[in-house]
Structures are given as C-alpha cells and as structure tokens.
Amino acid sequence: MAVSLVIKIGSMALINRDYNDINYNVFARLSRELRPGYALVSSGATEIGRLDYIKRAGGELVEENGLSYDDIKTDYAAQGQSVLMQNYRQFVDSRYGLRQILVEHQHFNDAGKRAHLKEMLIRCSEQNAIPIINYNDAVSNEENRKMEIQAMRERGKKAVECVDNDETAAQIACLVDCKTLLILTGTDGIYLDIDNPATIVREVTAETSEKLIGKVADLQKHCKGASRRGAFGALAKLEYIKEPLKKGVKVIISSSSYKIDDILSGKALSTMFFEA
C-alpha cells in the first residue's frame, strides 16, 4: 500500500490560545480521521513542551546564565514529544499502530538514508500503522546544521535544511510520491490580503508544473510576516510546496478546524494548487 496523503499540522493549530493549553478537540478530530496510507507531519512538540513545563514548574525557562533560546527550544521539544504522542495515541483508532519518526536534515540529503526512510514509511501503510513525523529538535543543533548544509552547498550539492516542518512535509511528499499534500494551519488558505479573509485564493492551476510554479511565485508577493518567533509564515509555505508541485503532487492549504474529508472533497474552504 502506498502513502496517498501527507498531512502537516502546525504548532499553533494544536494550541487553544484562549486557555493557553492543548486544543484537545483538534487532536481528537484529526486523530480519528487518520488511517493507514496517511502520513502525518506534526509540529507542536516545542510549544506543547513549553506549556507542560509551565504547568509543572510554574513559569517559563528564560534566557539567562548561559541558557540560550536554542537551548530552551531543545529542552521544551524533548519534554513535549512524549505529550504529543500521548495525545495522538489516545485518539487514533485502536486498530491502527502508531509510529513516531523523528527526522533531521541528513535523512533527506543522503541517498541511503532517504531510501531507508521511504521504505519505512511505505511499510507503515502495509503494516496497518500511521507514521507521526516531526523534525528532531531535541538533538538538532542549529549551528552544526548550518555548517553541514553550507559544506554541502560549497560542494555544489542541493541541500534540504528542514528548518520548518512545512519543508519537512514537502520533502516527505516528494519522497513517497503521494497524491496529495495537505497543510493544515490557522487560516482557511492563502489570502491576497492577510487582513481580509474574503480575498482567499481558492485555486491556483496551470497546464504545466513550470507555469504553476510561476503562479505560486506571483502569489508569494502578497505574503508577509509570521504568527510567532521561529515561524516562517505563508511565504515560506509557498516556497516549500514548489518541489512537490514539480512532481505532480496536489497541494492543499486549509484550516485545522475542518475535517480532512471535507477539505479533500472541496466542501471546506481552502487554497488548492494543481496542474489542470
């Protein structure tokens, strides 16, 4: 059985901002729709780890006494991974296995590791299991990663950096040759004016992948900013989806508040990118 659908959900889609807590409704709804043949790239470990730390320690970690922002992100991610998986396991259909897969940039930049990852993801589908994929922030050092990526580029190699799970999801979609990549976020799709939901772009289509990429580049001119520190926003999302689009993958960006089936069928608001 092939991987037909890659889903990516962002950190803030899993958080209830009003209560500064996990959004269990989103976890429950999303988890109950997952099934073998789907692969989920889930952000959230760092933010959920932060919330879990606050609950247990009474406050946040702060940048002092040699503790850097990257150190804090590492510590939160390590604490949040178990909470993240615990919530998915609680709500995913008990008939299905659940497998956590933590990836880093080298898994996409090395041919042998790419092949190993691809085979593992395909086996998940064949063995009635659902892979939950996340970038391994807990052991990733940004300085070392940048040095490794720069060294590859100096040797004339194209390098995947995976600084954002949108990029990770796009690379997974390319790796498994899925039919559809669905990016779940806090908005209904891509807007021409971020302050006006009525300007949502419902479809971006073209006869060839080259023309489609050109339309995506034009759409990027309307994007600006990000929702929080460490996020990259719609501009980056549109950049990362170019690679899957080149391979003929249909890409959909929509809100995590909608059911997967409603998004895929076109019943829910979204922005769809595909060759006509």
Q: What is the mean pLDDT of residues 3-10?
A: 96
Average pLDDT, rounded, for the chain: 90
Residue 227: per-residue pLDDT: 43
Cβ-in-10-Å burial (0-12, 13-18, 19+) of 238 comes to: buried
Q: Which helix (H) or strand (E) holds 268?
A: none
**Domain layout of the chain by residue ranges:** 1-178, 189-252+259-276
DSSP line for 50-67:
HHHHHHHHSS---S-TT-
Whole-angstrom Cα distance, residue 11 to residue 185?
9
Q: Is the pLDDT of residue 231 over 70?
A: no
pLDDT band at residue 233 under the 50/70/90 scheme: confident
pLDDT of residue 133 exceeding 80, the answer is yes
Q: Is the pLDDT of residue 34 over 50?
A: yes
Q: What are phi and psi of 259, to 5 degrees?
A: -70, 145
Q: Which CATH superfamily is domain 1-178 in?
A: Acetylglutamate kinase-like (3.40.1160.10)
Q: What is the pTM of this model?
A: 0.90
Can you tell me the mean pLDDT for 162-170? Answer: 87
Question: Is residue 100 over pLDDT 50?
Answer: yes
pLDDT at 92 over 90: yes
Give Cα separations from 175 to 116, 118, 136, 168 (angstroms).
11, 6, 18, 10
DSSP 97-163: EEEEEEE-THHHHSHHHHHHHHHHHHHHHHTTEEEEEEE-TTT--HHHHHHHHHHHHHTT-------
pLDDT digits (tens, 9 = 90+) for 199-217: 999 999 999 999 999 999 9
Given a cut of 60, whether residue 147 has pLDDT beyond it is no
Decide if pLDDT at 230 tops 50.
no
Instruction: Please tell me the distance from the alpha carbon of residue 247 to that of residue 249, in angstroms, as a whole number.
Output: 6
Q: Which residue, among 21, 88, 70, 5, has the nearest Cα to 229 in the 3D structure?
A: 70
Work out the average pLDDT over 103-111: 87
What average pLDDT score do residues 236-264 get? 96
Q: Which residue would you say has higher pLDDT here, 78 or 147?
A: 78
Within 8 A by CB and 6+ apart from 113, the residues are 106, 107
